[in-house]
Amino acid sequence: MPIAQIAERDLSSEKSKTFVFQDEGHTLGNALRCVISSYPDVQFCGYTVPHPAESKMHFRIQMNKGQAIDALKRGLEDLVKICDHTLEKFDEEMSSYKSDHNLVT
């Protein structure tokens, strides 16, 4: 899992934060944005990849209430659950397909 750091130095507002993910891009950014945007307390969630030559992603969260860091943690945890569920279902279907077609596993 990539490590995020807070880009701002102003710690007065915990509701709005921009996090910088090193060695990440659109794959994580879009999936994480999709998950976090669905939370009712999130006012805005978006990301940018500042330049293709830089291997980092800026991820912004603004909350109606609550802390941005908590939404990020929850989003990462929920994304892991989604990926685990997807892999589990894929493996089940692959086993079923191989069994139905008498393929060796």
For the chain, the domains span: 4-100
C-alpha–C-alpha distance, residues 52 and 56, integer Å: 9
Secondary element (H or E) of residue 105: none
Q: What is the pLDDT of residues 55-101, one digit of tens each?
A: 899 999 999 999 999 999 999 999 999 999 999 999 999 999 998 88
What integer pLDDT is reported at residue 29 of this predicted model? 96
User: Bridge-partner residues for 47, per DSSP?
Assistant: 59
Eight-state DSSP code of residue 5: E
Residues 6+ apart with CB under 8 A from 10: none
Helix axes 68-100, 26-37, angle to 10 degrees: 110
Q: What is the pLDDT of residues 20-53, one digit of tens each?
A: 999 999 999 999 999 999 999 999 999 999 998 8
C-alpha–C-alpha distance, residues 40 and 32, integer Å: 15
CATH number of 4-100: 3.30.1360.10
Q: How many whole angstroms from its chain centre is CA 73?
A: 9
Taking the CA atoms of residue 84, residue 85, residue 91 and residue 93 in that order, the dihedral angle to the nearest 10 degrees is -170
- What pTM was computed for the model? 0.84
